[in-house]
Amino acid sequence: MRTIDIQSIKQRFGIIGNSPQLNYAIQVAAQVAPTEMTVLITGESGSGKESFSKIIHHLSPRKHGQFIAINCGAIPEGTIDSELFGHEKGSFTGAHDTRKGYFEVTDGGTIFLDEIGEMPLGTQARLLRVLENGEFIKVGSSKVQKTDVRVVAATNVNLLNAVEKGRFREDLYYRLNTVPITVPPLRERGDDVYLLFRKFASDFAEKYRVKPITLTSEAVKLLLDFRFPGNIRQLKNIVEQISVLEYEREIDAETMKRYLPREQASHVPALLNAEKTADQTFSERDILYKVLFDMRRDVSELKKLVFDMLTQQPVETDLLKEHGHLFENIGQYESRVYPTQEQSDAFYLPMKQAQPHEYDDQKIEDIQHENAEESLSLEDKEKELIVKALKKHNNKRKYAAQDLGISERTLYRKLKQYEIEE
């Protein structure tokens, strides 16, 4: 087996760090580079996955061929097939000329498919055909074309979970995962954090023509203890901010604290289910919906409680105990001592016996019907908001998506999911 000089690879590709996990990932990339095997790189966003795809390409026999990096999550679902495989003139609205796709242009080279987990299922089927047979068909064509492209894929999500949920093809997963490479997150790389800090500080000092910033020992400890959810990208941004904004070149712990944001995980409200995994976190919109529906349910129960109190003589203390959670936020409710039946009779004012015409069957039926309508699912509410947004913007998906705070691609997927006709 040939000897791999990991240090020279780091210098060539600008990789900083000495953690065992990082060195192992570089070794695997260098070993698999001369082969034609498909590689799947996994790691959190901002951890440097693209650097490993470049190692694989430039240390392979294809190094003189073209290398193209594509972010699958940044291409709209309606155009990704055209981008990857090309299209014929007139195949769809706006296709004024024949266009070559990346798999045709990069023949003999390497394609890096970043965020492969965001690729639509239809495109996944096309990609599987390329990987298995080296064949593809342009959009709007019936002619089968050949291509010799090596695919390196990357993802920051658990693809096996996506397979179980039907969002990713199982056969494509095993075809891509021939050789897995795991890029460690920055928080697991120990002293590499400080090495990267010094490298970035030097780079930005040269870029902005200032003296490089340094850290006190307390600031270094604070830096190493921070988890960096945004990984290398986040660290680089922090160093650039400090380099530009601070007049003092020696940064102490107090100054460093101002640039290290509070970690979001510690401030997530108890609405989140503890069983949720990292790739199932709620968006802010989902959390807002849950809060609103919880409030709606509480109001519905409160209305039922009031109705029961009006129709029962006298008011039973057991009734209040049963619905006690509705009053938890009023204060001192849980520690309240409930009166005995005799005390209860003396405490509550006597109520006039309801006359038959005051609570007739029709009114009771109306109240019960109103309570039954209080239950709305999150999907129904989301569908309602999408329909309203489309009407507001005359069915223009681009503006409706901006109003809803989602991408146009996500809106397109939701339209298909809820079978909403524009």
DSSP-assigned states of every residue in 337-394: PPPPHHHHHHHSPP-PPPPTTTT-HHHHHHHHHHHHTT---HHHHHHHHHHHHHHHTT
Pick from 266-270, 314-318, 364-368, 385-389: least confident: 266-270
Domain co-membership, 82 together with 123: yes
> Is 157 within a domain?
yes
Domain co-membership, 232 together with 206: yes
Find residue 145's DSSP bridge partners: 136
> Is 257 within a domain?
yes
Domain co-membership, 191 together with 142: no
pLDDT at 264: 45
User: Last residue of a domain, which of 143, 166, 184?
Assistant: 184
Pick from 154-168, 181-195, 292-306, 316-330: least confident: 316-330
Q: Judge contact between 38 and 179, C-beta under 8 A.
A: yes
pLDDT at 285: 62
Which of 42, 33, 141 lies closest to 85, judged by CA?
A: 141
User: Last residue of a domain, which of 124, 159, 184?
Assistant: 184
137: CATH = 3.40.50.300
Pick from 10-14, 20-24, 119-123, 274-278: least confident: 274-278
Dihedral of the CA atoms 410, 416, 417, 422 (nearest 10)?
A: 90
Identify the burial level of 31 via C-beta atoms within 10 angstroms of its C-beta, where 0-12 means exposed, 13-18 middle and 19 or more buried: middle
Domain co-membership, 337 together with 350: yes
> Is 275 within a domain?
no
**278 DSSP assignment:** G
pLDDT at 91: 82
Mean pLDDT over the full length of the chain: 81
Handedness of CA 258, 264, 265, 270 (dihedral sign): positive
Domain co-membership, 52 together with 141: yes
Domain co-membership, 20 together with 146: yes
Pick from 24-38, 61-75, 204-218, 342-356: least confident: 342-356
Contact residues for 162 (Cβ-Cβ < 8 A; gap 6+): 117, 168
pLDDT in tens, 279-304: 444 456 666 666 776 777 777 777 77
Higher pLDDT, 391 or 148: 148
Give me the percent of the chain exceeding a pLDDT of 90: 56
Domain co-membership, 151 together with 72: yes
> Is 195 within a domain?
yes
208: CATH = 1.10.8.60
Question: How is residue 39 written in tokens?
Answer: 């590689």
pLDDT at 386: 86
Handedness of CA 41, 47, 48, 52 (dihedral sign): negative
Pick from 36-40, 174-178, 228-232, 359-363: least confident: 359-363
Alpha helices in 118-216 (DSSP H): 121-133, 159-164, 170-176, 192-208
Question: Cis (ω within 30 of 0) for the bond into 314?
Answer: yes
Pick from 33-42, 206-215, 325-334: least confident: 325-334
Domain co-membership, 403 together with 327: no
| Candidate ranges 83-97, 190-204, 364-378; pick with highest mean pLDDT | 190-204
How many domains is the chain built from? Answer: 4
Q: At what angle do helices 397-404 and 378-392 cross, to 10 degrees?
A: 130
Which of 146, 168, 147 lies closest to 157, judged by CA?
A: 168
Identify the burial level of 282 via C-beta atoms within 10 angstroms of its C-beta, where 0-12 means exposed, 13-18 middle and 19 or more buried: middle
Contact residues for 275 (Cβ-Cβ < 8 A; gap 6+): none
Domain co-membership, 177 together with 33: yes
413: CATH = 1.10.10
Domain co-membership, 31 together with 169: yes
pLDDT band at 419 (very low <50, low <70, confident <90, very high): confident
pLDDT at 420: 83
CA distances from 397 to 383, 393, 401, 421 (A): 14, 8, 6, 12
Domain co-membership, 22 together with 139: yes
Higher pLDDT, 324 or 213: 213
Dihedral of the CA atoms 408, 400, 405, 421 (nearest 10)?
A: -70
Domain co-membership, 152 together with 39: yes
Query: What domain range includes position 406?
Result: 378-417
> Is 154 within a domain?
yes
> Is 270 within a domain?
no
> Is 387 within a domain?
yes
Q: Judge contact between 76 and 409, C-beta under 8 A.
A: yes
> Is 32 within a domain?
yes
Higher pLDDT, 327 or 33: 33
Q: What is the mean pLDDT of residues 335-358?
A: 45
User: Last residue of a domain, which of 237, 265, 293?
Assistant: 265
